[in-house]
Amino acid sequence: MRSQTTLLVIASLLATFFTYNHFVNLYSSLKSLDFTSLTSAAIPEFSLTQLLSQKVEVEYESQPKQAAELCPLVPYHHSSKYPGNKPLLEKILHSSKFRQASVPKLQGAVQIPTESHDDDPKTIEEDPEYWSKFSKFESYLNKTFPTFYSHPNITLHKVNHHGLVYIWTGSNSTLKPIVLMAHQDVVPVPDTSRHLWEHDPWKADYDGVYMYGRGVSDCKNMLIGEIEAAEELILSGFKPQRTIVFSFGFDEEVGGERNHNAKFLEEVYGKDGVVGIFDEGGVSLLDIGGSQVAIPGTGEKGYLDLKIKLSLKGGHSSTPPKHTAIGLIGKVIVEIEDNEFESYFTEVNPTYWQYVCLAEHSVDLDDALRQDILNSQFDPEANKRVREFIKSDRKTRYGVMTTQALDLIDGGSKTNALPEFVELTINNRVIIEESLEDVKQKYIQDVLKVANKFNIGVNYVSEKGEKEIIKTPEAGDNTFMKS
């Protein structure tokens, strides 16, 4: 994995953001840094509660809405504090001396393996030694950032042992705090594939341009960058009016069930008690139709892990059936991957507004595509063309459709024994136009096509219990699903 080390633009956000009321002004601070090619357009605010409570139906309107009214440009804003902050920003962005001092800080963090696994202990108390790697990581932060740790207005709260919440108290208690987030854990590096890395994932090699290793972009770069930016601001004499919270979880890669930072912050500040968050996300800068577009995340897709399990009678591999359990699961896999989820381009999805703003304000966008975007809600063919355009690039396609990633498969125990059990795990990121039930039903239909062809029973297992969809044949074959 590779990550550019010029990651401390975060300091510019810290130095300029806290006098603003809305995240959209982030565009203006970026323009102050001469990123003049960015397209800056306000994204209309959505009520998540309203979106979740309404039934989504794709209907094309009879009249197009005026994009200019729905997507006004953000007025240019040049912070009065910018002249005073400019020397610090120039140092962070352009000083080779600063970069060389910054590199080993990220390297040291990457060199501490903080892997999360799907079968991690459910509680810290169950196996404290297993989780001690995060104590080692926090000790490294303490040693590496003494100015940050010793600041009298910064307090560290350890939530459920290893969740790190640093609160930098501001001078104006009437202002809601801002939360800067990252996570300490990284996805595992299997021993079976470690030798395939061009650079060892735990060495954090740096070639003068890129750093290579597990966590350099997901997301120890953000964690180290946020603390390092704070240290630079402290050394420059910066004193925030707005309280700044740094929240670093330790099991993000496996669902976050053990990390209670959000609950802690709600207890401290109440519901809706913060002005906003700054966190990792998808692609932040994209080339769309020739325009460079900055894309702050305004929402998150739904999430579903689903398992498909197949049980068959065993036997000796010298007399196999035409299709073993692994072969039958293979046919299910083909059925699933050959039938992707539907795509949507509707007003309930933030992706729609991103493209409407692009169509309204970009001077580089193809005129035919521009008209299709603006006509998409009353012209089905235009809508289809826009969806096909978005889907043509893997970086953008999943803004309009649910993902299906077949990530895990397990089955068989011996080379000369027929597999009696096979399990397939699928990860899904669900588009706002679909429900979790829609996703489950899609997989049920995929399984049924194979089950009906090969006379296999199907049971559906969910949190509500088990339901028989196709009766298990006398032979004892049985396929079932678990959400």
- Containing 331, the helix (H) or strand (E) segment is helix 325-338
Query: Which residue is associated with the tokens 């829609």?
Result: 438
Nearest to residue 170, comparing CAs of 226, 216, 233, 254?
233
- Length of the chain counted residue by residue: 483
- Cβ-based neighbour number of residue 319 at 10 Å: 7
Contacts of 214 (CB under 8 A, 6+ apart): 1, 110, 113, 115, 186, 187, 189, 201, 202
Query: Which residue is associated with the tokens 């559906």?
Result: 460
Q: Residue 315 class from Cβ within 10 Å (0-12 exposed, 13-18 middle, 19+ buried)?
A: middle
- Containing 308, the helix (H) or strand (E) segment is strand 302-311
Q: What is the dihedral of CA 171, 176, 177, 181, to 10 degrees?
A: -170
Q: Residue 415 class from Cβ within 10 Å (0-12 exposed, 13-18 middle, 19+ buried)?
A: exposed
Q: What is the dihedral of CA 430, 435, 437, 438, to 10 degrees?
A: -80
- Given a contact cutoff of 8 angstroms between Cβ atoms, the answer to whether 329 and 468 are in contact is no
Point out the catalytic residue in the list 120, 185, 433, 446. Answer: 185
Q: Is 463 a catalytic residue?
A: no
Point out the catalytic residue in the list 120, 218, 228, 252. Answer: 252
Query: Which residue is associated with the tokens 């073993």?
Result: 324
Q: How far is Cα 399 from Cα 425, in angstroms, rounded to an integer? A: 23
Q: Is 335 a catalytic residue?
A: no
Q: How far is Cα 128 from Cα 121, in angstroms, rounded to an integer? A: 9
Q: How far is Cα 407 from Cα 66, in angstroms, rounded to an integer? A: 43
Amino acid at 323: H
Helix 82-94 crosses helix 10-17 at what angle (to 10 degrees)? 170
Q: How far is Cα 221 from Cα 361, in angstroms, rounded to an integer? A: 33
Nearest to residue 450, comparing CAs of 305, 304, 312, 303?
312
Phi, psi of 161 (to 5 degrees): 75, -50
**Which residues are identified as catalytic?**
185, 252
